[in-house]
Structure formats: structure tokens, C-alpha cells
Chain A
Amino acid sequence: MATSVHEPPPVDPRRIPGNGNGGGGNLVPADGDRRLAVDYSPPPSSTAIWVVLFAISMMFAAFTSALVVRKGSSLDWRTFTLPPVLFLNSLTLIASSVTLEVSRRRIAAFMGNMQNRAENPARWLYVTLFLGMLFVAGQYVAWSQLRAEGLYLATNPSSSFFYVLTVTHVFHVLGGLGGLVYVIRKLNKSSLRRSTLEAAARYWHFMDLLWLYLLLLLWVKL
């Protein structure tokens, strides 16, 4: 039988979140007013973004295992040279992560009143957005170059995987661009939450890392 007398477990704010002590999200103070709790509780978006990134990782892990098995199971695999523009695209995406990080820090300072409020904090976000779009355009150029060489989706399993992996990644990057637009809109309306910015930044950086992984995979396997 369980113990008889129970009090709400004590809350140590230093251990929020994830202390297994009431979740942290809705830790309601003694008077039950949730608004007070919201100020120091972690917003669900910070948990959610890790969940999303995990799901995306599993998806690309499935594609990767399919590529490895497919390549090893037959003799029709044809190697080809990756379009050089992909490496330029990689630099573009890395640069976008750098500008986003600059932007994130400036916005944090802006929110904390540490910077001159006259400066537009969204400036570096626009640069990130531009670089992201440049990356997508660059990927399109890469697909065009492959098509010019006669390599289409169904030409060979190697080209099939190239298109599947890069197109799927671009779809996710477009999602990230949508997230950046959302952040800019919220910022311009002065209703941006720190957690939203953090989540968008984590997603974008993950897209960056994911692309580097895919590039390595394609380079080694194709």
C-alpha cells in the first residue's frame, strides 16, 4: 500500500524543466494562478522541436538504410559525379546558420533592452532567409545539371536516391523558411516569444547538419 499523507512535491526552480517534479510546464503556484507559472516554465515548443527533429532523423535513417541495402543488393548501381554546385550550396547553408546565430543573439539583446532599439533586429533574419532561398535555388540548379546529363529520377537507383534525398531535404528546408517568415512576422509585431525563435533556430541548424550528412552520404555512396 502506498504512503498515506501527501503534499505536493517541493519545486526547485533551478531544476526546471524535466525534473520529473510536475513537468515544469504548468507548475501552478500555491494560489493556482497559471500566468505566474508561465513566466518561468519551459514552453512546449522547446520539447516539441526535439520531437520533430527526432522524427525527421528517423525518416532520413530509413532512407539511408534503404540506400545501403539497395546498393548492396544488385549490380545495376551506377556511380556519377555530384554536381559541383552542391558544395557551393553547402557553403550557402552554413553561412545561413551563421547569420541566423548572429540574428538570434541580436534579437535576444533587443528583447533584453541591451541594444539600441532603433536597429532593426530582423535584418539578419532577412539575410538568413535570402541565403536559405539561395540554397533552394542552388539545389534546383543541381537537379537541372543532372537532367542535362540525362540523369533523371528513374534512370538509375543511384539517381533515384539522389533526387529522393535532396528533394525531401529541400521540402524540409522550405518548412524552415516558413518558420523564419513566421518569426519575422512575430518580431515585427513585437509578439515574438524567445522559445519560438529558439525552436526555429534549432530546426534551421538541424537542416544544416542534415544536409552535410546527406552530402557526405551521397559523396561516399554515389
Chain B
Amino acid sequence: MHDTSAHAVQHHAPTSFIRKHVFSLDHKVIGKQYYALALAAALIGMVLSWIMRIHLGWANAAIPGLHTLSPNGAPGGVLTPEYYLQLMTMHGTIMVFFVLTTAPFAAFGNYFLPIQVGAEDMPFPRFNMMSFWVTFTAFLVLVSSFFLGDGPTLGGWTQYAPLNSIGSASGPGQGLGVVLWMISIALFCIGQLLGSLNFIGTTLDLRVKGMSLMRLPLSAWAWFITSCMGLTAFSVLMPACILVILDHVAGTSFFVASNLVLNDQLVPHSGGSTLLWQHLFWFFGHPEVYIAIVPGIGIVSHVLIANMRKPMLSQRVLIYCMGALAVLSYMVYGHHMFVSGMNPVSSLAFSFPTLVITIPATITVLIWVFSLYGSRLRINAASLFALGFISMFVSGGVSGFFLAQPSIDIMLHATYFVVGHFHMVMGVAAMFGIFAGTYFWFPKMSGRMMNETLGKVHFWLSFVGTYCIFMPFHYLGLAGNIRRYSTFVDDFLQPLIPVHRWITVAALITGAAQLVFVYNLIHSRFWGKPAPDNPWEATSLEWSTATPPPWDNFGGKHPVVYHDPYQYGVQSSVGDYVMQASPEQVKTDHEEK
């Protein structure tokens, strides 16, 4: 690393409280803001799931405080079917957009991508700041629908047409609630587009000398690929939201079919295409799955390598696999529409790439497993969650093989089988990636270590708990348990209620286990053991700088990169690794032999 005089530093540190902590231009502060937003959103989403689970297990149970939140939706604290759907919609929307997209991509990516490439900041800090505050506004708009009109929309996070366009006649929340949902998601799209702009510019234009593309850490690659996906996906979802808003407020007929009669009244729209929304939504929606999971793949690889003390079998193939997942994610979206009455040839055309996409996913898993084989893995909270990610990714992914085939999907599509599938492969796996990243990078972000014992307790409770919750979902689906029902009164569903009660108890315990994490996070932030600059003896650039990093990341210095990102298992002056920015020449164990 080369020292330079102060005039080489292009930024001046902020002095006012507002510039430092609120409207900050610093990518690290913005990353933390995204993380805090995701954490708050996750807690809200979790409480919503608790309420739904209690209702599914004990349909007549009165939930304290719910009557105050919505006297009509939960009279006496007992959920109406409509309010159940409203809570379900908000749970899905908050989790998919404001947690699974925000935390692994926007939070960690903002904080660490510039440091991992050796830059002082992102290329457009003002856009970056706007990105967060627009996203935050989107979250407020979405949550405000709890308190405005007749509550949030009940149409599910997919907001299918024509339900999304025919107004309050189709149920509570379908008027103002839908409009607020669409405004929120359109704003979210703008925020993520601004973020993608910065991520792509950072990766392509701000790498330091020696940081060739193949020397980027896998996490940086994952954020770059994700930003490319986000750029394509969110710029399609935003116009779709605009068209729905126009159907609501301007009387246009983009999505409502003609001669639609609702409650014995003719809906005043004509000739719209209900399937058009599905095409536009799923062109975004399926890549969104990978927007949630690809950063996790990068983070987990990054964490595992540091704990295995050896690189992956092939960094290059892992990068290609993430790229293949990104490209194929746009070619498979029709598998969400197998039950829409599409032409069987079209089904086949979407089924085939859906099966093909399992190839890069499987190669990724095999690289992880064979890299782990024979390694002396350091067991800590971060590596445990990384292993948990792999487990969830495989368990949830296997059911994807079945759902990829139209003939099976038509049977299972509307059941809990699909709910179990996407919760494991997209939801829990991505959450485990977030936890792995948190335990790994928390020392760098805060300057303090997290409590390892609490971290391991958190892992085991979460790992066992999520299997207890989501594996029975598959069984429920195979037994014909239709999803989105708020209560089960049909004869064939009655015997399944004990399973639902089991899931509810597991969900309450697993949710409570997350409070251990929150406690650990807050306690460690203020009273944790001070962290050294490189507590994990890791090699990438974020560990070359001070903990926490200074305003300009490298304190007026600019690193020069001499090594691949993961030089472990070598003999150097500092141990079995050599950092990317170290000019030291080293020999590998392999060459010693």
C-alpha cells in the first residue's frame, strides 16, 4: 500500500450530524441505513407471520392489540378472512422487497463493494443517498396503508390482475391500498435503479490498480451480477405499476377484461388483458428470486473460503454459474404461469430452461461441497450460517425440480408445496446468507465482535426451527392443502390442522430465536469486545483497512492489488494467508510439496 499526501483524497469528511448520519453521502453509512431498514422490515414481517400462523392454528384465537390496529379487520382480535389476506400480502411484500432485496444486496453491497474494489466511495454518492431515501419513503408508503382507508391490499405480493385494478368493490384495501402498494413498489424500483447504477459504475470504473475482474472477491461479483439483474427487472416492473395506477385513478383499461361482473355490477372497464400483468410482473418476479439469492451465494462463498482456509475449487466456474443464473432467470418466468391456461408448447418452452437453470445451481453446490471436503473448517456463527444456507438452498431447490414440470405444477401450484419451496430456497436461504454476512462483517462495520455463543445458539434454533416450519409445508401441499385459505373447514383439510399447529409453535419459537440475534447485535454494537482490523485472518481489501474503515476507506492511501482474492493455504510472514494488497511473494503448500 502506498501512502499519499492528503491532497490525493477527493472527499472531505462530513462535519454536521445530518450529513454524517442522516443524509450521508458515505456508502458505508448508507449501507448501515439499508441494514437498519431491512432489520425493522424483517421484524414487522415476522410479527405479521406470527399473527397469521396463530390464526391458522387456532382460527378463533383473539390476538391482543389487533382489534385496535384494525377494528373491522380483526373484530375482537380475531382475523377476518380478508384481513388475513391483507396481512399475508404485507408479509410477502415487506419480506421480498424490503428484506431479501435490501439486506444482502443494498446493505452489504453498499458497505463493502467500494472497499473490496479499493475505491473511496461509489461514483455517484448523491444518487446513492437518494437511493436509500427513496427506498425508505417506499417503505413508509407501504406501511401507511395499514392506517389509511380500509387497510392494505389483499391481493398477495404478486398483485394479480384483475383484482389489482377493479377497486374497492373487490374487497377491503383494493382501492387506496392497491394504489399505495403500486406507488411504494414504483418508488422502490427507482431506488434500486439508482443503486444498480452505482454498483455497476463502482465495479467497472473504480477498481484499483491490479484489481482485474477475476481478482474481485466472489461477493463483489455477486453484487455486480445482481445489480445487472436489478437494472433489467426493476425497469420493467415500474411501468407495470404505473399502468395499474392509471387503471385505478384515471379510468384506463389496461388489465381489466371486458364484461366483468362483480357483486352483480358491471365493472366499468373494457377489454384489458389480465395476463398482461402476469407477464410484466413475472419478467421482474423470477429474476427477483435471484436478486435475493445471488448476493447470498457470493457472501456465503466469501465467508466459507475465509473459514476453510483455502480457495474454492474454481472461482471462475462459480462466477460463471452466478452469471448463468442471472441470464437464465429471464428465460424461465413463464413457469409461474403454468396454470394460467397457456399453450402447452409455451409451457414446455418455459419448463426446459427451468430445468436447465438447475445445472449452474447444482454446480455451485457441488463446488461448495467438494471445496469443504477435507478442509479444516473453522466453526463459528458465520460459517454455520453459511453451511445452513447451503442446506436450505439444496432442500428448497430440490422441490423446484418437481415444480418445473407443468403436469406436476398444475397439481401443486395453489398448495402449500409451493409456499414451502420458495420460503426455503429464497426466503430462509437468503436470510441465512444475511446472517452469515452479519456475523462475518459486523466487526468491520462496528469495530466490535459479536458474541459467538449467542450466535451459535441463534443458528441452531433457526436451523432446526426453519426445517420444522417449512418441511411440513411440502407435506401439506402434497395432501392438497390449498394456500391463502385463512381457515380450514373442508373435511379433507380438518386432519391437517394439527400439522398447522405444530408449524405455528415452531414459528413462534424460531421467531423468538431471532430476538437473540437482535439482542446480540445491539449489545455487541455498544459493549462487544473491540475488534482487530482483521479478526478472521482474511485476505480481501476490506480487511486491509482500519476497523471501522475511515471516511475515505483507506485513510488517504490507495491499495495496489498483487494477489488473487483468496490466497489461503500459503506460507507468508503473517500466517497461512496473504492479503490482496500485500506485495509479499509467497509459496503455496502445493508448491512446497
| Chains A and B come from one and the same complex | yes
Q: Which residues of A contact B (CB under 8 A)?
A: 1-9, 11, 17-18, 20-35, 37, 41-45, 47-48, 51-52, 54-56, 58-59, 61-63, 65-66, 69-70, 73-77, 153-154, 157, 160, 164, 168
Residue of B200, B211, B231, B271 near A73 (CB, 8 A) is B271
A residues in contact with B200, CB < 8 Å:
47-48, 51
Residue of A nearest to B562 (CB): A6
* Nearest neighbor of B557 in chain A, beta-carbon distance: A32
Q: Is A58 within 8 A of B232, CB to CB?
A: yes
Contacts of A6 in B (CB 8 A): 562-564, 585
A84 CB to closest chain B CB (Å) equals 25
- A59 — which chain B residues lie within 8 A by C-beta? 235-236, 238-239
| B560-A74 in contact (CB<8A) | no
Minimum CB–CB distance from A1 to chain B (whole Å) comes to 4
Looking at the assembled complex, report how far the CB atom of B220 sits from the nearest CB atom of chain A, in whole angstroms.
12
Tell me which residues across on chain B come within 8 A of A44, comparing CB atoms. 123-124, 201, 205-206
Q: With a CB–CB cut-off of 8 A, which chain A residues contact B310?
A: 1
Q: Among A18, A21, A26, A74, point to the contact of B206 (Cβ < 8 A).
A: A26
Interface string of B214-240 (1 = CB under 8 A from A): 100000000000000001100110111
- CA of A52 to CA of B591, assembled, Å: 47
Is B204's CB under 8 angstroms from A18's CB?
A: yes
| Residues in chain B near residue A2, CB distance under 8 A | 311, 564, 566-567, 588
CB distance from A57 to the nearest CB of B (A): 8
Is the beta-carbon distance between A73 and B238 smaller than 8 angstroms?
A: no
Interface range on chain B: under 10, 10 to 19, 20 to 34, or 35 or more? 35 or more
Distance of B571 from chain A, by nearest CB (Å): 10
A24 to B202 alpha-carbon distance, docked (Å): 11
Which candidate, B12-20, B37-45, B91-99, B248-256, is the interface stretch facing chain A?
B248-256
**B residues at A contact (CB < 8 Å):** 1-5, 7-8, 10, 117-119, 123-124, 193, 196-197, 200-201, 203-214, 231-232, 235-236, 238-240, 242-243, 246, 250-254, 257-258, 270-273, 275-276, 279-280, 283, 310-311, 557-558, 560-564, 566-567, 569-570, 585-591
A6-B564, A18-B204 given; A74·B270 CB < 8 A: yes
Bound complex: CA A192 to CA B3 (Å): 30
Interface of A is mostly: loop
CB of B2 within 8 A of CB of A69, answer no
Say whether A8 contacts B231, CB under 8 Å. Answer: no
Determine the chain B residues whose CB is within 8 A of the CB of A5 once the complex forms: 585-586
The listed residue (B123, B257, B558) touching A48 by CB distance below 8 A is B123
CA of A134 to CA of B31 in the docked complex: distance in angstroms? Answer: 43
Contact of B561 among A8, A34, A37 (CB under 8 A): A8
Once A62-B239, A66-B254, A73-B276 are accepted as A-B contacts, the answer to whether A23 and B588 lie under 8 Å apart by CB is: no
Q: Which of A7, A26, A35 contacts B118 (CB 8 A)?
A: A26
Which residues of chain A come closer than 8 Å to B242, judged between CB atoms? Answer: 164, 168
Determine which residue in A3, A7, A8 has the highest number of CB atoms from chain B within 10 A of its CB, and name it. A8
B239 adjacent to A63 (CB under 8 Å) = yes
- Which residues on B sit within 8 Å (CB–CB) of A168? 239, 242
B205 contact from A25, A66, A69, Cβ within 8 A: A25
By the criterion CB–CB under 8 Å, are A62 and B118 in contact? Answer: no
Are A154 and B252 closer than 8 Å at their CB atoms?
yes
A4/B586 in contact, CB under 8 A: yes
Contact status A28-B209, CB under 8 Å = yes
Q: A8 near B235 (CB under 8 angstroms)? A: no
Q: Is the CB of B588 within 8 A of A7?
A: no
A118 to B296 Cα, complex, angstroms: 58
**B246 and A160 contact, CB distance less than 8 A:** yes
A66 to B283, CA, bound (A): 12
Task: Report which residue of A20, A48, A77 has the largest number of chain B beta carbons within 10 angstroms of its beta carbon.
Answer: A48
**Measured between alpha carbons, how far is A76 from B268 in the docked complex, in Å?**
13
- Beyond A62-B240, A66-B276, whether A26 also contacts B270 by CB under 8 A is no
Residues of B within 8 A of A77 (CB): 271
- What are 14 A-B residue pairs whose CB atoms fall within 8 Å in the complex? A1-B588, A2-B588, A4-B591, A7-B562, A24-B205, A28-B558, A34-B558, A43-B205, A51-B231, A59-B236, A61-B236, A62-B239, A160-B246, A160-B253
Please report the C-alpha to C-alpha distance between residue A23 and residue B196 in the assembled complex, in whole angstroms: 17
B residues near A164, Cβ cutoff 8 Å? 242-243, 246
Complex: A206 Cα to B137 Cα, angstroms: 30
Provide the residues of chain A in CB contact with B119, threshold 8 Å. 25-26
Known contacts A9-B212, A47-B204; decide if A34 and B252 are in contact (CB<8 Å). Answer: no
Looking at A23, A43, A45, the one whose CB has the most chain B CB atoms below 10 A away is: A23
Complex contact B208–A28 (CB within 8 A): yes
Determine if A153 and B563 form an interchain contact, defined as CB atoms under 8 angstroms apart: no
Whether B276 contacts A51 by the Cβ 8 Å rule is no
Asked whether B206 lies within 8 Å of A23 as measured between CB atoms, the reply is: yes
Which residue, B209, B235, B557, has most C-beta atoms of chain A within 10 A? B209
* Contact partners of A74 in chain B: CB under 8 A: 257-258, 270-273
B207 touching A22, Cβ below 8 Å? yes
What are the residues of chain A within 8 A of B311 when measuring CB–CB?
1-2
Least CB distance, B246 to chain A, in whole angstroms = 7
Contact B232 A160 (CB under 8 A): no
Q: A1-B590, A4-B588, A59-B235 are in contact. Are A153 and B209 (CB under 8 A)?
A: no
Closest beta carbon of chain A to B279's beta carbon, Å: 7
> Contact at A23–B205, with CB atoms within 8 Å?
yes
Q: Do B205 and A47 touch (CB < 8 A)?
A: yes
Give CA–CA (A37, B120) in the complex, Å.
Answer: 14
- Asked if A25 and B207 sit within 8 Å, CB to CB, the answer is yes
